[in-house]
Amino acid sequence: MVLAAAALLMAAQSEAQLIKTTVAQGEIEGVVEDGMAHYKGIPFAEPPVGNLRWKAPVPAKAWEGTFKADHFAKQGVQRVQTMPGREAPAVSEDCLYLNVLTPAKRQDEALPVLVWIHGGAFSSGNSFTDGSNFAKAGIVYVSITYRLNCMGFLSLPELTQESLKETGHATSGNYGIMDQILALQWVHDNIAAFGGDPAKVTIMGESAGAISVAILCQSPLAKGLFRGAISESGGNMVPMDNVRIDNNSLRNVKGSEAYGLAYIQRVTGKKNPKLKDLRKLPAEVFLNDSAAFSMGGALWPCYDDYILDTDSYVQYQKGNFNDVNILMGTNSDEGSMFTGYLGRFTPTEYEEEIRLSFAPEWREEFKKMYPGTNDQEAFDAHSDIFREAAFAWPTYAWANMQSQHGQGKVYMYFFDQLKFNPFRRNQQTTRKQISTHAFEMMYTFGPQRGGGWGGPQSPSDAAMTKIIHQYWVNFIKTGDPNGELLPYWPAYSQGTESTMYFRDGAFVTELPNLPQLELWTRYFDWRREHPTIVK
């Protein structure tokens, strides 16, 4: 009798959720998890395999019957990194799927929508990040996949010519961004079926996902697909150049083609293999190149005057961007993760890094701003240079350009809550700001199902999680992070640099690394006038 009653209760709860609906491709059925409907592994594009390898994604065709969206799809081809105690994700070239987690019980609820774009240096990552805390707050949560590394960002002259012939656009190398745009188009066209409002979409990403968010705010092809953006440690404001050196520039198509040719020669042993032959090779062949899978990422989006207009900094000055409200920021010690992976960093190695990264007329000024006369200083200097070039300056420049040239408001943050940094283990340092890259996600997403993010939080961290997560929820719902019982977060504008500082509380201050950012502004202004000459 008790078992029968329990079964009836479970059936009633399942029926209360929106677990069956209809999208453009046909009827679809999800599963109930944690009291909400979860649709996993929905195809938004045809598999990008065979002749569709290195082409723009093609919208998914209709299916027959009811599609059972009850398990995650395989993730994009990548070098799989297995976390301790966790199963490695399955990967495949057939990877263009998305997931929807909805608290809606009816299709007409018109709930706000969050689309999550994962990071991973454009070479790795997955769509499994748990968004249940956003869904519990009344938000439809969508996570998407996109092609990575060589499958998503390879340029070759033959690919560019093929694109010009077939589409009229002389471009190659931005396939992963095209995937993101098609996924957003699918959300726009279908999210109402899950109780979401296509007019209330916010995009959000971290690291390469945040850089993707910046690119989507800049791409004319993404116009009208979202009303707000959240960027956690990312931006895309560096100058266009023929090469990409230590995050100091973004390649043009010609530079991306040159990198692609050298890369293909390394992985195949052939100087100019035919495109038809490259499309027949197993995807795993293209992973056998350490240079292209470096910690900072090497296969990257490019400026192509189609997906991404030349030099985003200049385009913002001209008013060419998607004008939306943005919540953006960086962490206090972003670069330590990347420096830490290098191991012990010496003054000699730091001097060589300065020589390779900067023109002679700038080296002494950067060494003065970032001294590296002993091992600890060298580690800190390299870390902070990486922080500024990869994350902090592009975010700062983006905030300035948006606040000067757009109507959308900017809300800037500086995350400094985490007091333990695994990449600084055993260091004898008096450094106070040690919140490294990606660690803010445990606060923005909140506690994960299954105990993710490394276990229980301290009382201080738990309190900060509630504060930060609520700011994010408010922004997704209204375009403004402010709300009842939260410290007031003013909009950012150049000249005031009003920034919400997160450390054992939330308070407004000036950006703490402003002198360094102003140096980088002068440097990048110079770089725009002095592109690298390829010999």
Evaluate whether residue 262 is within a structural domain.
Answer: yes
d(CA 169, CA 219): 15
Distance of CA 293 to the CA centre of its chain: 17
Q: Are residues 353 and 258 in the same domain?
A: no
Q: Are residues 280 and 380 in the same domain?
A: no
Q: Are residues 281 and 407 in the same domain?
A: no
Evaluate whether residue 211 is within a structural domain.
Answer: no
Residue 4 pLDDT level (bands cut at 50, 70, 90) = low
Helix axes 393-405, 514-529, angle to 10 degrees: 80
Query: In this model, does residue 376 exceed pLDDT 60?
Result: yes
Task: Tell me what the mean pLDDT of segment 377-405 comes to.
Answer: 96
d(CA 180, CA 118): 11
Percentage of the chain beyond pLDDT 90 is 83
Residue 492 pLDDT level (bands cut at 50, 70, 90) = very high
Percentage of the chain beyond pLDDT 70 is 94
Residue 14 pLDDT level (bands cut at 50, 70, 90) = very low
* Residue-level pLDDT at 447: 86
Helix axes 208-218, 175-190, angle to 10 degrees: 70
Please state whether beta strands 410-415 and 66-68 pair in parallel, antiparallel, or not at all (unpaired). unpaired
Residue 450 pLDDT level (bands cut at 50, 70, 90) = low
The one-letter amino acid code at 104 reads A
Query: In this model, does residue 65 exceed pLDDT 60?
Result: yes
d(CA 406, CA 318): 10
Q: Which domain holds residue 490?
A: 334-535
d(CA 329, CA 235): 10
d(CA 505, CA 461): 10
Distance of CA 496 to the CA centre of its chain: 27
Q: Are residues 284 and 380 in the same domain?
A: no
Query: In this model, does residue 205 exceed pLDDT 50?
Result: yes
> Comparing C-alpha atoms, which of 432, 531, 417 is closest to residue 463?
417
Q: Are 17 and 37 in contact (CB under 8 A)?
A: yes
Task: Tell me what the mean pLDDT of segment 57-84 comes to.
Answer: 91
Q: Are 263 and 211 in contact (CB under 8 A)?
A: no
Neighbours of 503 (CB within 10 A): 18
Please state whether beta strands 498-502 and 506-510 pair in parallel, antiparallel, or not at all (unpaired). antiparallel
Task: Tell me what the mean pLDDT of segment 307-328 comes to.
Answer: 96
Evaluate whether residue 226 is within a structural domain.
Answer: no
Query: In this model, does residue 2 exceed pLDDT 70?
Result: no
* Residue-level pLDDT at 86: 65
Residue 144: phi and psi, rounded to 5, are -120, 160
Measured distance between the N- and C-terminal CA atoms of the chain, rounded to whole angstroms: 82
| Residue 1: strand, helix, or coil | coil
* Residue-level pLDDT at 293: 83
Q: Are residues 399 and 285 in the same domain?
A: no
* Residue-level pLDDT at 419: 80
Query: In this model, does residue 535 exceed pLDDT 50?
Result: no
Count of domains observed in the chain = 2
Residue 417 pLDDT level (bands cut at 50, 70, 90) = very high
Residue whose structure tokens are 């608290």 = 103
Average pLDDT over the chain, rounded to whole? 92
> Comparing C-alpha atoms, which of 367, 370, 373, 366 is closest to residue 347?
373
Distance of CA 145 to the CA centre of its chain: 11
* Residue-level pLDDT at 420: 84
Task: Tell me what the mean pLDDT of segment 212-240 comes to.
Answer: 97
* Residue-level pLDDT at 341: 84
Task: Tell me what the mean pLDDT of segment 376-405 comes to.
Answer: 96
Q: Are residues 269 and 368 in the same domain?
A: no
Q: Are 175 and 137 in contact (CB under 8 A)?
A: no
Query: In this model, does residue 15 exceed pLDDT 80?
Result: no
Residue 454 pLDDT level (bands cut at 50, 70, 90) = low
Please state whether beta strands 111-117 and 140-144 pair in parallel, antiparallel, or not at all (unpaired). parallel
At CA 97, angle to CA 234 and CA 228, rounded to 5?
40
| Residue 331: strand, helix, or coil | strand
Sheet holding 36-43, edge to edge: 31-33, 36-43, 97-102, 140-144, 111-117, 196-206, 228-232, 325-331, 410-415, 498-502, 506-510
Q: Which residues pair with 67 in a beta bridge?
A: 28
Residue 428 token pair: 């004898």
Query: In this model, does residue 11 exceed pLDDT 60?
Result: no
For residue 1, the number of C-alpha atoms closer than 13 Å in the C-beta half-sphere is: 0
Evaluate whether residue 243 is within a structural domain.
Answer: no
Q: Are 421 and 333 in contact (CB under 8 A)?
A: yes
Q: Are residues 506 and 360 in the same domain?
A: yes
Query: In this model, does residue 343 exceed pLDDT 60?
Result: yes
| Residue 276: strand, helix, or coil | helix
At CA 255, angle to CA 251 and CA 260, rounded to 5?
105
For 360-371, what is the HEC assignment? HHHHHHHHHHCC
For residue 440, the number of C-alpha atoms closer than 13 Å in the C-beta half-sphere is: 31
Q: Are residues 288 and 377 in the same domain?
A: no
Q: Are residues 357 and 269 in the same domain?
A: no
104-125 pLDDT, tens digit per residue, is 999 999 999 999 999 999 999 9
* Residue-level pLDDT at 534: 58
d(CA 38, CA 52): 29
> Comparing C-alpha atoms, which of 3, 277, 282, 6 is closest to residue 156?
277
Query: In this model, does residue 146 exceed pLDDT 70?
Result: yes
Q: Are 75 and 126 in contact (CB under 8 A)?
A: yes
* Residue-level pLDDT at 88: 73
| 64: CATH | 3.40.50.1820
Evaluate whether residue 236 is within a structural domain.
Answer: no
Evaluate whether residue 242 is within a structural domain.
Answer: no
* Residue-level pLDDT at 8: 44
For 46-64, what is the HEC assignment? CCCCHHHCCCCCCECCCCC
* Residue-level pLDDT at 246: 76
Residue 448 pLDDT level (bands cut at 50, 70, 90) = confident
Enclosing H/E stretch for 101: strand 97-102
Q: Are residues 58 and 167 in the same domain?
A: yes
Evaluate whether residue 283 is within a structural domain.
Answer: yes
From residue 173, give the alpha-carbon distance in Å to each of 7, 97, 216, 306, 371. Answer: 52, 20, 15, 11, 37
Task: Tell me what the mean pLDDT of segment 327-346 comes to.
Answer: 92
Residue 295 pLDDT level (bands cut at 50, 70, 90) = low
The lowest-confidence range among 77-81, 329-333, 524-528 is 77-81
Q: Are residues 40 and 129 in the same domain?
A: yes
Residue 12 pLDDT level (bands cut at 50, 70, 90) = very low
At CA 39, angle to CA 477 and CA 448, rounded to 5?
65
- Check residue 221 and report its DSSP letter: G
Residue whose structure tokens are 């809606």 = 104
Q: Are residues 294 and 438 in the same domain?
A: no
Evaluate whether residue 56 is within a structural domain.
Answer: yes
